[in-house]
Structures are given as structure tokens and as C-alpha cells.
Amino acid sequence: MKLIVVGAGISGCICARRLLDTGHEVTVVEKGRGVGGRMSTRRMNGAAIDHGAQFFTIRDNRLLGYLQEWRNGDSVVEWYDHVPNRSDLTDHSRFRGVLGMTDPAKHLLRNVKVEKNFFVEFIKWSGGSWTVKEAGTSGRSLQADHLVLTLPVPQMLNLFSRSNFEFKPEVMSNLKNIRYSRCLALYGLLDRVSSIPYPGIITHPTPQVDWLADNQVKGISQKPAFTLHASAKFSDEIWNVPDKDAVLSLVPLVERLMQAKISEWTIHRWHFAKPSVTFGESHFHSPESRLSLAGDSFGGERIENAAISGWEAAESITQVV
């Protein structure tokens, strides 16, 4: 069977890989230049910076095979299992990409056809197959027997609207009820090695900040570089503030906690950082429409939850074939 998976976050990557492994022809469509979604690594003047998801865990046995494959393929290593000065957090292994958090996604898609820089303008079911059309008069057009969408749900709903497509009212209602929290990420370079000890993280140092990490201590960057995630509440407060004003209270905090000066910085606004209200099921599968939906807004906010969402979407498809 020929399938298209829209979205190259971890959910789409796992789904595509599972489908490929069961003998199907799979194409992944991604609007960005790279894969990984929130598992994103940026380069800045020789530094590597994880500015989205910082780590992942594996608790579900179904993912142990991929974890072993990643580790054998030098894509993933264990980062840490204990957070200093946080007795409220349980000890368990947190994993990271060897060169950055994008590595596991890249590994999964090594043998999968990926169409990048492909913004889907509309989808259409006709004559027993799906057409996925890229924006623009000369845009690419792909066909498939089954379609899997792993976009953030607000983007799915916009796509449905552009495509004049709807599920049954109760399904559409559940999709429209999904909510996300936002996260403003500040990241950049430091003028010297920071004072943060291994594993290179500080969690919730103030009500305004959820996470502060040193990417060099983490092990992915050759140069001192930091990542800060603002809390959901503070992110909302400064969301529409110009960048230079948004960082006024954050730069001094970073420099104080890391005992280093920021030499260069930038901001990324994660509109769909974490689902706060989910669909209520790990995925949605419609054999009649030959359309499946997956992602963190179905499985849950953790990287592993999103991966399992993609896994179970693939399983639902293969069971019908």
C-alpha cells in the first residue's frame, strides 16, 4: 500500500518507519527544511543547540528496539538519570541525540523518502486515493492509498478547512477542543564555559523559567551555548513583545546562573509546545476515510507519548490491510 505521512516530528517518523518495516511504500512530507519537529537542533557559529525538546525517556517496551538501534548506530546516548537538588523528580534514564535531538528522527528516516519544504495547501480524496497538493501554482502533487496527518491539531483543522473536509461532528468537536501551551525559547552563545555542573541543567530556577541548559556540558556543542525555556505563563505574557524587550529580564538571569556573559542570542517561539488538552486517545483512525491522525495532542506531551501515538497509528493501518 502507498502511504503519505504529513509531518516529520517523532510521531510521523515512528509511524513512517513502522509502515516501511511492514512492507509499505511510504513518503513523508515536511514543511520545514529538516526533520524532528520539536526535537530540533540549531547551529550558531560553531555551536550546536537543542532549542526544543531537551531529552526523551523510554518506558514502553515497544520502543526498546528503536532505542537499541539508535544506540548501536551512534545516534543516541544516555544523558543523565538524576537531577541534582531535585528529590521530587524520579531517577530514570534521560536520553539525547549524540549530535543533538534531531539525530533519532534522522536515523528513523534514513531509508524513507522525505519531501522537505513542502507546505500542504490541500488534501483531496477522489477515485480511491488521496491527493496531497503543495502550495503554489507549480507545487508538487502526491497520491496515496492512505494518509496520515501528524501536524499540530490547529494546523490540521486549517488544512481541513482549506480542503473542505470534515469528519463526523463529534470527532471535529474533540479536535477543536484540543489546547496547547506556548513556550518562548531563548538560546545563544556564552563568552566562556558556564559554572553549571554536569548534566548541565537547572530546572525551574524562577517562576518565569522552566529550564536552563548548557549545551556544551550536555555534550552536543563544542562551544559554550545555552538554552532557556520560559514558563507557559511568562511565555504568554511576553509572547507579542519585541525580542529585544522580551529578553530584558531573561538575559541577566542566564548570566547570573551560568556565571558567563551572553555573546549572541536569538528567540524561537514554540506555538504548540505542549498539549494541555488532548484528544483522549493515542491516535484517530478512520478506515472509511483511509485517514489517520497522530501526534502529541493525541498521545501526550512527552516525546515517548508522541512516538507511541505514531506507532499505534501505524498498527491500526496495518491491521486493516
Distances (CA, A) of 246 to 42, 66, 130, 203, 265: 21, 39, 44, 20, 12
Alpha helices for the chain (secondary structure H) = 10-21, 64-72, 103-108, 153-163, 169-176, 215-218, 232-238, 243-246, 250-258, 296-299, 303-320
Cα distance between residue 321 and residue 317, in whole Å: 7
pLDDT for the residue numbered 190: 99
Helix 153-163 × helix 169-176 angle, to 10°: 140
pLDDT for the residue numbered 51: 98
* pLDDT digits 0-9 by tens, 24-47: 999 999 999 999 999 999 999 999
pLDDT for the residue numbered 321: 59
Return the percentage of the chain with pLDDT > 90, whole number: 93
Per-residue pLDDT, averaged over 164-172, amounts to 93
pLDDT at 82 over 90: no
Q: Which residues contact 197 (CB under 8 A, 6 or more apart)?
A: 84, 217
pLDDT for the residue numbered 91: 80
Neighbours of 219 (CB within 10 A): 17
pTM as predicted = 0.95
pLDDT at 284 over 90: yes
Per-residue pLDDT, averaged over 106-118, amounts to 97
Residue pair 192/273 in contact (Cβ under 8 Å)? The answer is no
Q: Domains of the chain by range and CATH?
A: 2-35+109-178+278-320 (3.50.50.60), 180-275 (3.90.660.10)
pLDDT at 300 over 70: yes
- pLDDT confidence tier of residue 89, bands split at 50, 70 and 90: confident
- pLDDT confidence tier of residue 139, bands split at 50, 70 and 90: confident
| Per-chain mean pLDDT for the chain | 96
Cα distance between residue 181 and residue 77, in whole Å: 29
* pLDDT digits 0-9 by tens, 186-211: 999 999 999 999 999 999 999 999 99
**Paired residues of 213 in beta bridges:** 201, 227
